[in-house]
Amino acid sequence: MLRNYQKKLIKSLGMKIEKEAKVTLIGAGPGSSDLITVRGLKALKAADVVLYDALIGEELLRQMDTRIPKIYVGKRCGQHAFTQDDINVLIVEKAFEHGHVVRLKGGDPFVFGRAHEEIDYVESFGIPVTVVPGVSSAIAVPSGQGIPMTRRGVSSSFWVMTATKRDGSFSEDLKFASQSSATMVILMGVRKLAEISAEVSKYRGSLTPMAVIQNGTMQNESCIVGTLGDVASAISDIDTSKPGIIVIGDVVAEHPSFFEEEVQRVLHSSL
């Protein structure tokens, strides 16, 4: 049964309900279209309308019926197609209008995906929400480069964090993680790579291995490996306008090219 405030909203929007309103939040995985889960792909193909983020590849969207509306609601640094409040309202409107809304997010919905904000808003209208977990880029992207999160005798834990808080200042987690021996995985921090390296270097040596991975799991994936002390030279090879994942810790030395790159840097510096 529809509640009174739902009926009022539908009437104000001039909508006619033909299908049951429901929402599915799907984690699309780290980038490559074939890394979505089987359950996620099944739910995606059952959608009546899809709202998708910036990191969703066109190849994944092409697996759907071309008649299904696909609405881009992505947010990149300085380029927000919609605010979070706009997205919340749009999900509800499209659920009443079309029926089954799929909210397609990169990685996993609950890893810096603001999923709870959307769920709370949607459920306040009596619309049921289902969550399909996704493969988090925080783990999958380094793994694809041969960088483990943990390794016996090297690192027994890992810490996933964003570099900065809402006001632009460094998160306290960055300091606490730097003081530990854990592998550090930093999301949404490429623009402040130099500052991050300087902050972490206060607690870890300049020879601590570091990697910056962009376009993870995609054909144009790139990975720059080095050390905290090499960050100045590494920045010239990184497109800071694009998102990426920063990995700091001794496990980065497991990358196949780490020691080769280090030898080249030593030889170059001695010339």
Give per-residue pLDDT as tens, 177-192: 999 999 999 999 999 9
Using the structure block, give the residue that is written with the tokens 């709370």: 120
CATH code for residues 1-132: 3.40.1010.10
The domain 137-270 is placed in CATH, from the list 3.30.950.10, 2.30.30.280, 2.130.10.30, 3.90.79.10, at 3.30.950.10
Determine what percent of the chain is predicted with pLDDT higher than 70. Answer: 87
Note the pTM of the prediction, 2 decimals: 0.87
Mean pLDDT of 244-268: 80
Confidence label for 271 from pLDDT (cuts 50, 70 and 90): very low
Name the residue ranges covered by the structural domains of the chain.
1-132, 137-270
pLDDT of residue 267: 41
Same fold: 1-132 with 137-270: no
pLDDT of residue 237: 85
Q: Is 99 exposed, middle or buried (0-12, 13-18, 19+ CB in 10 A)?
A: middle
